[in-house]
Structure 1
Amino acid sequence: MDLQIQELQFPHLNIPITIHHVITVVPAGPIPVGSGESLYLSNLDDMIGARVFTPTVYFYQSSTLSSDQKPVATILREALASVLVPYYPFSGRLRETKNGKLEVFFGPKQGVLMVEAYSKLAISDLGSLAVPNPAWVSLLYRFPNEEDYKIIDMPLVIAQVTNFSCGGFSLGLRLCHCLCDGLGAMQFIGAWAATARSGSLVTNPKPCWDREFFQPRDPPMVKFKHVEFMKIDDDSNLTSTLWEVKPVQKCYRISREFQARIKQLAQSDGEPVCTHFDSMAAHVWKSWVKSLDVRPLDYKLRLTFSVNARKKVTNPPVKDGFYGNVVCVACATSTVSQLVQGQLSAITRLVREARLGVSEEYIRSTVDYIEVDRPRRLEFAGKLTITQWTRFSIYESADFGWGRPVYAGPIDLTPTPQVCVFLPDSDASPGGSMVVCICLPESASSKFRELLCQIDPK
């Protein structure tokens, strides 16, 4: 194995917890909407991939806590109540209107949820905190018998503070993706953290709702095929290979030097410069498909990934402090044979062209496409989705007064085994190594690791 790629292990354990309190947190002051009123959500907020809760967990060591402070849960709860005044939409609920479209509405008994829990374990008993661990699932609150993907009439922020016997704690968060994309979530969490540190409300930048900015055109004008949403016949063995056996989660630390070598090999002479994401996404996609031995060879595969479109929108620009979804799903396509036999530079070109294809017109076309043909389900046929978290300030934004978390990020990819996540390395400086997490059948994991470590332009 190349020394610049390290497979990271995580322990299999059980984390028993006791829930002490389940508290509804409401805004600490008046908000500009009343019971019975509603707020518009854009079609970017309402696309099928956003109808989920994004689960994350943050760990904080006991050495960062002060004995003369209020209890951690109290500090976080009071700060959250303060932040819910400017971020008041999070205190509402989602409901469907005509044609299945979502909106945020406000009723008499709403607010967000905060859970206080305790574990007899110490944080040191959890082993490595370097990578997501499915065993951490008990650190995120779910309602008894809660349905998968349920978002209607649910609290839009669900926070669980778990105190460990050593004095450290974790903060498990479930934020509804319909209200914010990744950058918007960092803005909200950053305001919450700054407010907790200071003891008074801090919002910089000032939050902006303004979802009408992405209203569909009248009449809608869909100018692209939007292959990312299309239903494709599942004529390959890919989906059955991943879903018929329980996949395992694998995580790899990729050094900056290895990423640079892959980028150098992926760059074609005379073509626009590719990014580290372009080349690493191409390398992972190729390695994943080859390790799974996908058949038939003429089957068309899709690689999808979200593109931050804030800088693409210029007429007029997105307002400062806007925390809604401003992401488009880019989609690269390739037959199996072109992918497994093609050069890395050719595959990287597909990824780069898909990324650069997200223009202002593409964004408006996406909004109109969802208005005309609102997708009702996620399509998995022939697809790998890569989610890039390395661009988020997930560690920097989460200093609630006890320093940076020792880990910040997701916990478990196995419920969605066709998703790969690029994470910032908790031990690295910004722009350094990253962690790639992906799900595979156990039978394919050794082959994937071997392919991932290869430095080979073919």
Structure 2
Amino acid sequence: MTWGDVEILFEKLIKPATATPDPLQIFKLSFLDQTAPHSYASLLYFYHPADQDDGKTSISSAAEISERLEKSLSLVLTRFYPLSGRISLSEGGDIIDSVNCQDQGVLYRETRLNCQLNAFLKEAYEDTNLIHLLAPRKLIDNVDDLLVAPLVRVQLSKFECGGLVLSVQTLHTVGDGFTGTTFTSEWAKISRFGMMNDPRFLIFDVASSVLPTINDISRKIELFPPPNRRPQVKTVMKRFVFDEAAIARLKDEIMATNCSLLLERQPTKVEVVTALIWRSLIRAAQARHGYLRPSMTSLS
């Protein structure tokens, strides 16, 4: 097949199951939000056919999966109400000011690729640009785009084998990677268990109440500088692949040391790989600066 051939089955706007109350319809942004890049932070979740039939769910068809995703997405948006809104500008129209939370909705799209998921992943290891087929790619190039852009874009990609890839993109103005993982985690809980009576208490206005805004510090920035004035930054993308055997050896090495006596349980794959990368960064910083610098990492 031609990898560029992706069939869009449909796309729609998903709105919260219940309307956002009037007092919450203006979500003020902090300085960090106002100066964030106008791009999306993306997360991709891969599901092989076997992953969907784990004996714990009653989903038996692609149609049921779609229906459950849409319904649970609508429910979780009632908790994450700012993500259903749209960016608003200040009265002068020169800076980002807030999010208009009138339940405009998030983009939900389903697509189909006429290939096997394993075959796609094998090719994607060699050509990482193929990953872009699994998520909406429309960029935000001007103010008009920014004001109408959904703050969250979701794409469910279906493969011939029954495999699925779920892409969740969050506009950086209102969220980052942590926001995205928290959102998808709550979405997954609701999708599996339904709305619970003791929802996690979420507060969204802490940053704007603590940090100053651009108006507060009397600083003006251009929303979209002319192209010839935008910094030309060269970016490099690298991929580090840890196979199952390599991770298993790392875990065995850890458990064979005296450090294992301090562990309450065997470390997970993510913890082992994170520790290896963290150790490498510590050693690189020590070699560069000539001394051991304090550092900290966190797994959310």
> Which bin holds the TM-score, normalised by the shorter protein?
0.5 to 0.7
* TM-fit CA distance, 1:137: 0.5
Tell me, in whole angstroms, the C-alpha distance in 2 between the residues paired with 1:165 and 1:279: 41
In structure 2, do the counterparts of structure 1 residues 123 and 253 end up closer, same or farther at CA, with 3 Å as the change threshold? closer
Tell me whether 1:58 sits opposite 2:53 in the alignment: no
In structure 2, do the counterparts of structure 1 residues 60 and 219 end up closer, same or farther at CA, with 3 Å as the change threshold? closer
Alpha-carbon deviations, 1:257-286, whole Å to 9, x = none?
A: 69x99xxxxxxxxxxxxx87665335568x
* TM-fit CA distance, 1:60: 0.4
| Corresponding residue for residue 117 of structure 1 | 111
Q: Which structure's residues are more often helix, by fraction?
A: 2
Please tell me the residue identity of whatever aligns with 1:210.
D
In structure 2, do the counterparts of structure 1 residues 79 and 180 end up closer, same or farther at CA, with 3 Å as the change threshold? same
Is the CA contact 1:22–1:115 (under 8 Å) kept in the aligned structure 2? Answer: yes
| Corresponding residue for residue 38 of structure 1 | 26
Tell me, in whole angstroms, the C-alpha distance in 2 between the residues paired with 1:131 and 1:209: 40
* TM-fit CA distance, 1:147: 3.3
In structure 2, do the counterparts of structure 1 residues 348 and 94 end up closer, same or farther at CA, with 3 Å as the change threshold? farther
* TM-fit CA distance, 1:126: 1.4
What does residue range 7-406 of structure 1 map to in structure 2 within 5 Å?
14=3, 16-33=5-22, 37-49=25-37, 51-66=38-53, 68=60, 70-97=63-90, 98=92, 100-107=95-102, 110-128=104-122, 133-143=128-138, 147=141, 151-200=146-195, 204-211=199-206, 212-216=208-212, 243=234, 249-253=237-241, 279-281=279-281, 343-344=287-288, 346=290, 349=293, 352=294, 391-392=299-300
Please tell me the residue identity of whatever aligns with 1:280.
S
Tell me, in whole angstroms, the C-alpha distance in 1 between the residues paired with 2:42 and 2:177: 12
* TM-fit CA distance, 1:146: 5.5
**Which runs of 5 or more structure 2 residues have no equivalent in the other structure?**
54-58, 218-230, 255-274
* TM-fit CA distance, 1:348: 5.2
Alpha-carbon deviations, 1:146-176, whole Å to 9, x = none?
A: 5399643310110011111111111112111
Tell me, in whole angstroms, the C-alpha distance in 2 between the residues paired with 1:23 and 1:186: 22
Q: TM-score, normalised on structure 2?
A: 0.67
Please tell me the residue identity of whatever aligns with 2:111.
A
In structure 2, do the counterparts of structure 1 residues 208 and 219 end up closer, same or farther at CA, with 3 Å as the change threshold? closer
Is the CA contact 1:79–1:201 (under 8 Å) kept in the aligned structure 2? Answer: no
Tell me, in whole angstroms, the C-alpha distance in 1 between the residues paired with 2:98 and 2:216: 21
Q: Which structure's residues are more often strand, by fraction?
A: 1
Tell me, in whole angstroms, the C-alpha distance in 2 between the residues paired with 1:117 and 1:79: 19
Tell me, in whole angstroms, the C-alpha distance in 2 between the residues paired with 1:130 and 1:182: 23
* TM-fit CA distance, 1:102: 3.1
Alpha-carbon deviations, 1:350-384, whole Å to 9, x = none?
A: xx4xx68xxxxxxxxxxxxxxxxxxxxxxxxxxxx
Tell me, in whole angstroms, the C-alpha distance in 1 between the residues paired with 2:137 and 2:287: 45
C-alpha root-mean-square deviation of aligned residues, in Å? 4.0
Provide the aligned length of Structure 1 versus Structure 2. Answer: 248
* TM-fit CA distance, 1:16: 2.5
Q: TM-score, normalised on structure 1?
A: 0.46
Tell me, in whole angstroms, the C-alpha distance in 1 between the residues paired with 2:153 and 2:216: 38
Tell me, in whole angstroms, the C-alpha distance in 1 between the residues paired with 2:299 and 2:127: 18
Helix, strand or coil at the partner of 1:251: coil
Tell me, in whole angstroms, the C-alpha distance in 2 between the residues paired with 1:155 and 1:219: 27
Tell me, in whole angstroms, the C-alpha distance in 1 between the residues paired with 2:81 and 2:42: 21
Is the CA contact 2:168–2:180 (under 8 Å) kept in the aligned structure 1? Answer: no
Helix, strand or coil at the partner of 2:31: coil
Tell me, in whole angstroms, the C-alpha distance in 1 between the residues paired with 2:77 and 2:46: 23
Tell me, in whole angstroms, the C-alpha distance in 1 between the residues paired with 2:299 and 2:45: 17
